[in-house]
Amino acid sequence: MNDCSVASLLARGGFRCVCGKRHEANLKKAVVKSGAVAELGSVVRGYGGKRAYLLCDANTFAAAGVSVLRALGGAGVGYTIFRFPEDRTEPDEKVVGAAVLHFDRTCDIIVGVGSGVINDIGKILAGITGLPYIIVATAPSMDGFASSTSSVVRDGLKVSVDSKCPDAVIADTDILKEAPPLMLQAGLGDMLAKCVSVCEWRIGRLVTGEYYCPAVAAIIRSALHKCVKNAEGLMRREPAAVEAVMEGLILSGIAADYAGVSRPVSGVEHYFSHLWDMRALEFGTPWSLHGVQCGIGTVLALKGYERLSELTPDREKALAAFENMDKAAWYGQIRRYLGNAADTILQTAEGAARYDPAQHKKRLENIVTHWEDILQIIREELPASDAAAALLRSVGAPVSSAEIGIPTDENALTFKMTKDIRDKYILSTLLFDMGVLDEEANQIYQ
């Protein structure tokens, strides 16, 4: 694909790819430019909307509310506003339920005004009601704008649930560039993470035979390159830099739709973030915005891959380590580390292919056979950890867990936990298959 912009891909529509799949994005329209919010009324009208149910909170309404109401009024679109009273809204059962219970049945379209949390709630409500949904972005902070899932807290556990992808994204750079610095940093962190996700997707194909699409990977690489190229202007709030990050975040959702899986956009670096979120919910430990945590997770992942590049797989050592592992003791560690959140994870882990002896042996043979190919993928896809840290520092973003209040000496255990929270082939799974996860985690994150 020569033109990997959001506009080009959405204009192209569905298409048959060389990978054998037909790619189609659930997102149908995106307006990313200065003054984009002025087009909201016509977009709402285009979906047959006559009365909008607006979801926002105090901060997001302050950022874009007046412009949104002006745009709707100018198009003759009525509205009912539901504004969450808290400064920071956690998307749990209570909050989602409030949005549902306050829903005005005279409304025929839902408009979210916000970023991650508001968008997640809006997508759930749209899925429940079957109505068209538009998100007016107020910060380029995360990659869920064009996804069909919502990240929510259910029974005290952070989970992804099926919802509805927005029909349209309105991203006004005049609004986005005024977002708080931490949210701008989060957007860049979430985009920087894509170098790891693409790398692990390619490695996963070699080791497990999973589906991989080079065209989808190329979309992510192009978006990441544009973000890195413009990063210097992000904290100066230059429109080109803000637009590059926002486009990249929208493209991430499109790429995930094309692939049918989250592989192109999340890997081990995201799992650091998920685990920190889980512990924060369970024990009240420190945390930060998802994209900020993904940026830190990316630096940690890159250090791990630098160490991996110094290793050589030892078939006998790997088989012996697998045979002698004490799974019960490991499950006990997971329970102590995650508390109640461990139950769902252990249910998934118990049936996962990673603990099947025949599957382990098959993966190990592929690792040994393709070791030089794996090293070449790492060289092609990943920057040095120091370079990634320097990029994040250039925008004032944290680069270590200690900077967000999470002790450095916990990183080794958190890294080991990443292999069990999802059934996805990542760096920690690779080291586990090689029989060196425990010793290398301590070596990398000492």
300 and 435 in a single domain? The answer is yes
Q: Do 203 and 148 share a structural domain?
A: no
Same domain (yes/no): 45, 193: no
347 and 440 assigned to the same domain? yes
pLDDT at res. 87: 63
How much is the pLDDT for 142?
93
Note whether residue 254 is domain-resident. no
Query: Which amino acid, 265?
Result: V
CB neighbours of 101 closer than 8 A, spacing ≥ 6? none
Nearest to 145 by CA among 257, 68, 230: 257
DSSP structure class, residue 353 = G
Residue environment code for 338-374, b if the CB has 16+ CB neighbours within 10 A, otherwise e: bbebbebbeeebeebebbeeeebebbbebbeebeeeb
Candidates 349, 334, 197; CA nearest to 278 is 334
In the predicted structure, residue 350 carries a pLDDT above the cut 90 = no
Q: Could you tell me if residue 356 is inside a domain?
A: yes
Same domain, 198 and 114: no
Say how far apart CA 84 and CA 104 lie, in whole Å. 15
Q: What is the pLDDT of residues 192-227, one digit of tens each?
A: 999 999 999 999 999 999 999 999 999 999 999 999
In this prediction, residue 18 carries a pLDDT of: 92
Under the banding of pLDDT at 50, 70 and 90, the label for residue 349 is confident
Domain-located, residue 249: no
Looking at the structure, do residues 208 and 270 belong to the same domain, yes or no?
yes
The Cα angle at residue 89 between residues 84 and 93, in degrees rounded to 5 = 90
User: CATH no. for residue 140?
Assistant: 3.40.50.1970
Q: Within this chain, do residues 195 and 53 fall inside the same structural domain, yes or no?
A: no
Q: 3-state secondary structure string, 202-254?
A: HHHHHHHCCCCCHHHHHHHHHHHHHHHHHHHHCCCCCHHHHHHHHHHHHHHHH
Amino acid at the residue 151? S
List the domain range (segments joined by +) for residue 10.
6-179
Tell me which of 6-10, 73-77, 168-172, 301-305 is least confident. Answer: 6-10
Q: Which tokens belong to 336?
A: 């102590």
Report the chain's mean pLDDT, rounded to a whole number.
95
H or E, element range at 47: none
How many Å apart are CA 401 and CA 403, to the nearest integer?
5
Answer whether residue 91 shows pLDDT above 90.
Answer: no
User: Residue with structure tokens 């190919």?
Assistant: 373
The answer, yes or no, to whether residue 335 has pLDDT greater than 80, is yes
Average pLDDT over residues 420-430: 93
End-to-end CA distance of the chain: 42
Domain presence at residue 152: yes
- Helix (H), strand (E) counts: the chain: 21, 10
Say which CATH number the domain at 310 has: 1.20.1090
The total domain count for the chain is: 2
232 part of a folded domain: no
List % helix, strand, coil for the chain (3-state, nearest 5).
60, 10, 30
Do 130 and 205 sit in the same domain of this protein? no
The CA-atom distances, in angstroms, between 226 and each of 249, 289, 394 are 12, 22, 16
In a domain, 402, yes or no: yes
Please report whether residue 252 resides in a domain.
Answer: no
Q: What would the two tokens of residue 249 be? A: 């975040």
What's the pTM?
Answer: 0.95
Q: Clarify whether residues 338 and 371 are in a common domain.
A: yes
Res. 86: pLDDT tops 80: no
What pLDDT is stored for residue 2 in this prediction? 65
Q: Are residues 131 and 204 in the same domain?
A: no
Higher pLDDT, residue 106 or 4 = 106
19 and 159 belong to one structural domain: yes
pLDDT at 319: 98
Q: What is the mean pLDDT of residues 228-235?
A: 96
Q: What is the DSSP letter of 32?
A: E
Type of residue found at 406: I
Residue 255 placed within a domain: no
Going by the DSSP 8-state scheme, the letter that residue 21 receives in this structure is P
Of 263, 297, 218, the residue nearest 9 (C-alpha): 218
Q: What is the pLDDT of residues 351-378, one digit of tens each?
A: 778 899 999 999 999 999 999 999 999 9
Same domain, 165 and 197: no
pLDDT band for 1, please (50, 70, 90 cuts). Answer: low
Banded pLDDT at 302 (limits 50, 70, 90): very high
